[in-house]
Amino acid sequence: MSVPLVAGVRTRLITIPLRRPWGADVTDLRVVEVEVADESGDRGYGFSWTPSIGGTAAQALIETDLAPFAAGRPAEPSWWDDAWRHLHEAGGGGITTIALAGLDLALWDLAARRSGRSVTEAIGRRHDALVAYGSGVNLHYSMDELVAQATHWVEAGFGAVKVKVGKPDLAEDVERLRAVRDVIGPDRALMVDANQRWDLERAVAAAAAFEPARIAWLEEPLRAEDLGGHAELRRRTGVRIAVGENLHTEHRFAEYLDAGAADVLQPNIVRVGGITPALRIARLAESAGVELAFHLLPELSAQLAFAIPQATRIEVVEDAGFAELGALSAPSGLAVVDGAVTGGAALGLGLRFR
């Protein structure tokens, strides 16, 4: 039986206020909901996503360039590479892959719904439960607020936590990590995220200063474009380097692996262009023997993580999940209990926005 063809693509821009802003310039999340209809009348739903900046640009790219390109093509996620090449003159990654993700997710959702399965089951579920870690955009928190957040993670049963670093005074970062380590105890993993704030020498100094805290990984210490710097930092310090939330194609992930510049890959499923390229990046990580930990979006990330061979950690950011923010029209089916993620959608991706 032939696959129905795409008959139309519609978008809707949604602004989701954050309960606690991530910073002065990030007070909300922008979601572009993408609806794909096939010629038989069935529909699939995906989304593009970005914190505050770029939502209207992603929507415009979908409507003016991707929707016409999709019309008349098979209503399944089999032609991602053709669409990527089509957008390439506007950039090989970034806003182009963010826009492309909305279409890719909708096609995966539609194909899974057509088969009567969830996307996880359509790919092939391999895990019933995965370990989660508590995370927060907390560099601007006071010490008391940071300690309270760490206490909450411990009480919620998380076996690993992640905090932001990058204060102007490195001694303040050290003090904050010491306080978090005191709260979480010696046995929980502690990861830190610098959000690209440092140059190489500052990162080398930080890696040495953080040794007493026994960090599990140092995330985005340098600008994501600085491939050589990450490789040199890893060589000089031996610290485990985590990168990926600002790498936008599988080719960039491969370059980091080839250069020996990463121990943990953290693709954001939307930023890399959707499920299709995210699965390829997962295979790269598995082949290279490095850890995989999808970035943010647990209601989406967990569905894919349940279906890949390697066990991955799921990032749960306090006050940032779609369900927590009241953005979903129905429960996602995902549950986070005692530091573990279980469940998932019953059909398709199961993610519809209010």
**Distance in angstroms (rounded) separating the CA atoms of residues 305 and 301:** 6
Distance CA 149, CA 161 (A): 10
Please name the residue ranges forming H helices in the chain: 55-61, 67-70, 80-87, 95-114, 119-123, 143-155, 170-184, 200-209, 227-237, 250-258, 275-288, 298-305
Percent share of the chain, pLDDT over 90: 97
Q: pLDDT for 89-145, tens place per residue?
A: 999 999 999 999 999 999 999 999 999 999 999 999 999 999 999 999 999 999 999
pLDDT of residue 319: 87
Tell me how far apart the alpha carbons of residues 277 and 74 are, in angstroms, rounded to a whole number: 18
As a whole number, mean pLDDT of residues 148-176 equals 97
pLDDT at 296: 95
Task: Provide the pLDDT for residue 24.
Answer: 86
- Mean pLDDT (whole number) for 272-283: 98
Two domains, one topology: 6-114 and 121-343: no
Render pLDDT for 329-343 as a digit per residue (tens, 0 to 9).
999 999 999 999 999
pLDDT above 70 for 222: yes
Both tokens assigned to 63: 């409507």
Encoding tokens for residue 200?
A: 């190489």
Pair 207, 173: CB distance under 8 Å: no
State what percent of residues in the chain have pLDDT above 70. 100
pLDDT at position 17 is 96
- pLDDT for residue 1 is more than 70: no
**What average pLDDT is seen over the chain?**
97
For the cut 70, the answer to whether the pLDDT of residue 239 exceeds it is yes
Alpha-carbon distance 109 to 130, whole Å?
22
Give residue 269's pLDDT.
98
Name the fold adopted by 121-343.
TIM Barrel (3.20.20)
The pLDDT value recorded for residue 199 is: 98
CATH 3.30.390.10 given to domain 6-114: yes
**CA separation for the pair 4, 113 (Å, rounded):** 13
Q: Where are the domains of the chain?
A: 6-114, 121-343
Residue 65's pLDDT is 98
Angle between helices 80-87 and 95-114 (to 10 degrees): 160
